[in-house]
Amino acid sequence: MNDTAVELIQFRMSHFNEKARWALDIKQVPHTRRTLLPGPHRFMVKRLTGQTKTPVVRFGDTAVHGSAKIIDELERRFPTPPLYPEDDADRARALEIQDWLDGDIGPRIRRAALAAIVDDAGQISRTFAADRSLAVRGLYRVTIPIARGMIKKGNGITGAASIEDGYAAAAEALDFVVSQSGDSGYLIGGRFSVADLTAAALLAPAANPPDSPMTRPTPLSASVAAWLDRWKDHPGTAWVHRQYRQHRPPSAQLH
């Protein structure tokens, strides 16, 4: 890869991947995207980074993984528009909110959102392989029942209480964005920052922002519809939709 080329290695439908994608898009960083299927992804990601989680962004020969580290690197290489608040105390608070959402809320919400699709191989295939050929989608679909135990274990889906805990995380974060955003509509310093981007992206699986990279594929299964129904009237969902409408630009992907 040449020194200045930027490549995002991602899953198509994933809130942590959406965080990195949104940061690349808002900074209008011309880049290519390599979309992997969860499962087979691990060979390439492990080779590049020594671990298996996406997103990964390659800046030339340097591979950075972890959405917060990726945003930090983007902020350094492509400072405009800034995602970090200028004021030191605001920046520290915005990064603290990002840490909490990344480390605590994000994985718990994913657990509940995944629980709504994990028993439906067709829905999993539509969610992660929508852009693939019919043959690849079909093949992927038949591997799901074999991988199901691993998907559940890997995401902490261990029973009803673990899923309830995911609902609690979604409610907590939706309540938080409403109480914290106040009159300005933003979490920190009266303007859009890494805190808003992180909250909106990580809440997207619950809020289903329309016309966005995180819009659920249709038809929705009954369990996905029930999961989304829980949150559709929460004012936090309207907050997420507003961030998407006002601050989520179209893709800066190179074609």
Ligand X SMILES: N[C@@H](CCC(=O)N[C@@H](CS)C(=O)NCC(=O)O)C(=O)O
Q: Which stretch binds ligand X (CB under 6 A): 1-9, 11-19, 160-168, 234-242?
A: 11-19
Instruction: Tell me: does residue 186 bind ligand X (CB under 6 A).
Output: no
Closest CB to ligand X among 29 and 114?
A: 114
60, two tokens: 């030339």
Of 217, 221, 174, 165, the C-alpha closest to 199 is 174
Report the residue from 22, 66, 90, 204 that binds ligand X according to the rule CB under 6 A.
66
Query: Is residue 183 packed enough to be buried (19+ CB in 10 Å), middle (13-18) or exposed (0-12)?
Result: exposed
d(C-alpha 204, C-alpha 214), whole Å = 6
d(C-alpha 84, C-alpha 188), whole Å = 10
Ranges within 99-138 binding ligand X (CB under 6 A): 102, 110
Instruction: Tell me: does residue 14 bind ligand X (CB under 6 A).
Output: yes
Report the residue from 26, 68, 113, 207 that binds ligand X according to the rule CB under 6 A.
68
Give me the least distance between CB of 155 and ligand X, in Å please: 8
Instruction: Tell me: does residue 148 bind ligand X (CB under 6 A).
Output: no
Query: Is residue 63 packed enough to be buried (19+ CB in 10 Å), middle (13-18) or exposed (0-12)?
Result: middle
Instruction: Tell me: does residue 75 bind ligand X (CB under 6 A).
Output: no
Q: Which stretch binds ligand X (CB under 6 A): 65-73, 84-92, 130-138, 178-186?
A: 65-73
Ranges within 22-61 binding ligand X (CB under 6 A): 38, 42, 52-55
Write down the number of H helices and E strands in the chain: 11, 4
Closest CB to ligand X among 151 and 238?
A: 151
d(C-alpha 227, C-alpha 207), whole Å = 10
Instruction: Say what angle helices 67-77 and 194-207 make with each other, to 10 degrees.
Output: 140
86, two tokens: 């200028």
Give me the least distance between CB of 45 and ligand X, in Å please: 7
Give me the least distance between CB of 17 and ligand X, in Å please: 6
Q: How many residues at the interface with ligand X, by CB under 6 A?
A: 14
Give me the least distance between CB of 44 and ligand X, in Å please: 11
Give the pairing type, strands 6-10 and 32-35: parallel
Q: Write the DSSP assignment of 175-200 as a string of letters.
A: HHHHHHHTTTTSSSTTS--HHHHHHH
Q: Which stretch binds ligand X (CB under 6 A): 62-70, 159-167, 180-188, 202-210?
A: 62-70
Closest CB to ligand X among 21 and 110?
A: 110
Note the residues at the interface with ligand X (CB under 6 A).
11, 14, 16, 38, 42, 52-55, 66-68, 102, 110
